Amino acid sequence: MTETPLPLDPGRAPALAREFGLKPEEFARALAILGRTPSLTELGIFSVMWSEHCSYKSSRVWLRTLPTKASWVIHGPGENAGVIDIGDGLAAIFKMESHNHPSFIEPYNGAATGVGGILRDVFTMGARPIANLNALRFGMPDAPRMKQIIDGVVRGIGGYGNCVGVPTVGGEVNFHPAYNGNPLVNAMTVGIAPRDRIFLSAAAGIGNAVVYLGSKTGRDGIHGATMASTEFSADSEEKRPTVQIGDPFAEKLLIEACLELMATDAIVAIQDMGAAGLTSSSVEMAGKGGVGIELVLDTVPQREDGMTAYEMMLSESQERMLMILKPGREAMAQAIFQKWELDFAVIGHLTDTGRITIRHKGILEADIALAPLESEAPLYHRPTVETPKQPVLDAAAIADPVGILPALETLLGSLDLCSRRWIWDQYDALVNGQTVQRPGGADAAVVRIEGHKRALAMTTDCTPRYVFADPEAGGVQAVAEAWRNLTAVGARPLAITDNMNFGNPEKPEIMGQFAAAIRGMAAACVALDFPVVSGNVSLYNETQGVAILPTPAIGGVGVLEDAAQSVGLALSPGQDLVLIGAMQGWLGQSLWLREIAGQEAGAPPPVDLAAERATGDFVRAQILGGAIAACHDCSDGGLLVAVAEMAMGRGCGVTLAPAPDGIPEHALWFGEDQGRYLCATGQGAALVAAAVAAGLPAVLLGRTGGEALALADGRSISIATLRAAHEATLPLLMGS
């Protein structure tokens, strides 16, 4: 008789399946695949592989519509991370991933393991990580636990990144009440590998050893992927044991050991054990390779006594990898891992059965055909409802209650615009000695590639309030903003990773946000030649029925052939300040409207993608040609906020030219019109002429010098005053 795993009590199995997050019809599908009642371990495997987090069952139909190809794309979505050709025989490997739910429950470890997980996604492909970035959304600081969450998340990101020795070079932060019960922690890693030395995850070679690497397996994080696939309720605190604990020291050793082994030709395939740990790594590697896999769990390095097969397969203990080795290379590989004091264990081998079989203590614990586990995975075309369009606001109909300069001072100290120094002062941004543009100094981080002149520019961007007001326009804007920030340092934007953070996809209005945001992103990606090469989806970001603002965070990567050509944003005395791009005075969804006029209203500013492309291509060419000394895009807060940010960079004042007629003054200075760059140059008239000759709107906006920001009519405010307002907010809130 054929051996089968010990089935669950058929009467109890449906209830347990529900507890594990499987819908009744999904459980029925699992029963059909197996032809019998599953064992506990098998039910665990089905439930995590078919969780939203691992299967993308609600989002896949939409993700497929994103453009993913360009001549420089080596590997798009589907691998552990995206891979692009950046010249000089090099590839950049990058991805962004969320750790929202764990970071809410246990901020320090939730954020820390978010960083650790995304690092592994990148170095598992053969890259040395050269930079970390992040995209954070917090609730209002006076919301319950929120200061503790902010503090813990920042400490966790720093605690992990600083220790592994990868510089944290950039990021973004927003505050909004919609995140009070569900903050977002998205972490991005960028790495560099030789273009011809990329490691993939598809297993191959019947009989080849399956090797476990890294830290030992404990009981932490069991069913973390399932937790990430449900809404929060009042009992979320009880889910604390599903949060993993990070060990950045082990990760540092794992990076060095893996890169040392990768320099040999011993590895067939390798993947990190991320969400759903040993289950997802073994299922995905074997599934992609079209082979079977047999695991014998007795040899899995274990941190605790008496662990069951179910616990080992579902554990999300950190700093672990799974690898397929070529025959005869075990001893050599083991020696490298012993040198780095890491566990190395052969825990199974590849088979020709097309099944995953799991044995423990001589007992068959699971036996599942791999093909249907993937091909029969649930896929939902969930119903969508479009977000109603907001009216375009008439700026002239909105009174300015305080005047231009008082509004500027207030805005610069407001939560969404204040200095992030309190945060980045806790992140090591310089380790490895290649950071050309540091946090706060430029629109994108710039990190040189060791031993090369070449550098990568990196940024994370999204304006969730725009996406909420108009998901499609907001999706366009998020991608355009990333492209613009890379352009503003002189880089050629190449590709993006996306981190789609949304609410409960079973609600049509949420799924409508998702679908429209993807539509907008896709349009921008096509227009800007800026494909998506990797990404992550985080749904069910709701607490007690309240959804977050839809937040498709974009991580953009661009290249500079010579790091020395990059520019920052700080003004110096004796320069002309030139604005390139059209002035409309669009106040809808602006921070001025929210912070000064007290309204979150109106349609968000539209992005004209053709103008965006033409303006950016012109500005980049001028930067690379040496005509522009400093550059800053106009985004949150509008034109005057951008001028002030450039002025505060080195404490250099600026006197502005008279405002053009036809636009109310407050709309002119604080409207968040898109597709605009402020450029500091020694030759303002020549730059304006060149822009106009290229068919682009451009004006000489001001002249730098002195110690104040001065309007043409004589009103002025000192840079020191602006700086004080800008720098005080976060230290005051966080008590340091």
Partner 1 sequence: MRAAIILFPGTNRERDMAIALERASGRKPALVFHRETELPTGTDLVVLPGGFSYGDYLRSGAMAAHSPIMAAVRAHAARGGLVLGVCNGFQTLIEAGLLPGGLLKNATLRFLSMDCILRVERSGTAFTNHWQQGATFRAPMAHGDGNYFADDATLDRLEGENLIAFRYVDEHAQPTSAANRNGSARNIAGIFSPDLRICGLMPHPEDLVDPLMGGVDGLPMFESLAAA
Provide the binding-site residues for partner 1, judged by CB under 8 A. 155, 158-159, 162-165, 247-250, 252-253, 339-341, 424-436, 438, 448, 450, 563-564, 736
Question: Which region holds residue 21: left if phi is over 0, alpha if psi is between -120 and 50, else beta?
Answer: left
Q: Which residues are documented as binding site for substrate?
A: 98-101, 120, 244, 316-318, 538
State which amino acid sits at residue 383: P
Partner residues linked to 84 by β-bridges? 73, 92
Angle at 720 between CA 719 and CA 725, to 5 degrees: 95
CB of 567 to partner 1, least distance (A): 12
- Taking the C-alpha atoms of residue 178 and residue 384, their distance in angstroms, rounded to an integer, is 21
Distances (CA, A) of 136 to 59, 423, 460, 464, 709: 22, 11, 10, 11, 31
Is the Cβ of residue 442 or residue 687 nearer to partner 1 in the bound state? 442
| Non-local CB neighbours of 89 within 8 Å, separated by 6+ positions | 194, 195, 196
Burial pattern 52-66, b for ≥16 Cβ within 10 A else e, equals bbbbbbbbeebbeeb
CB of 628 to partner 1, least distance (A): 18
Placement of tokens 């890259």 in the chain: 127
Give the residue among 375, 278, 357, 387 at the shortest CA–CA distance from 323. 278
Is the Cβ of residue 64 or residue 339 nearer to partner 1 in the bound state? 339
Question: Which region holds residue 653: left if phi is over 0, alpha if psi is between -120 and 50, else beta?
Answer: beta
Is the Cβ of residue 196 or residue 341 nearer to partner 1 in the bound state? 341
CB of 38 to partner 1, least distance (A): 40
CB burial of residue 396 (10 Å; 0-12, 13-18, 19+): exposed
CB of 591 to partner 1, least distance (A): 27
CB of 681 to partner 1, least distance (A): 21
Q: What is the DSSP string of 681-726?
A: ES-HHHHHHHHHHTT--EEEEEEE-SSEEE-TTS-EEEHHHHHHHH
Placement of tokens 């965070």 in the chain: 553
Helix (H, G, I), strand (E, B) or coil at 581: coil
CB 3 within 8 A of CB 364: yes
Token pair, residue 295, equals 């695991």
The helix or strand, by DSSP H or E, that contains position 114, with its residue range, turns out to be helix 107-123
CB of 173 to partner 1, least distance (A): 17
Is the Cβ of residue 424 or residue 669 nearer to partner 1 in the bound state? 424
Is the Cβ of residue 111 or residue 436 nearer to partner 1 in the bound state? 436
CB 117 within 8 A of CB 318: yes
Is the Cβ of residue 437 or residue 541 nearer to partner 1 in the bound state? 437
CB 515 within 8 A of CB 642: no
CB of 564 to partner 1, least distance (A): 6
Active site annotation includes 452: no
Active site annotation includes 99: yes
Catalytic residue among 99, 176, 349, 726: 99
Is the Cβ of residue 162 or residue 590 nearer to partner 1 in the bound state? 162
The helix or strand, by DSSP H or E, that contains position 187, with its residue range, turns out to be strand 184-194
Q: Which residues are documented as binding site for ATP?
A: 56, 95, 498, 535
Q: Which residues are documented as binding site?
A: 56, 95, 97-101, 120-121, 244, 272, 316-318, 498, 535-536, 538
Please give the positions annotated as active site.
53, 99
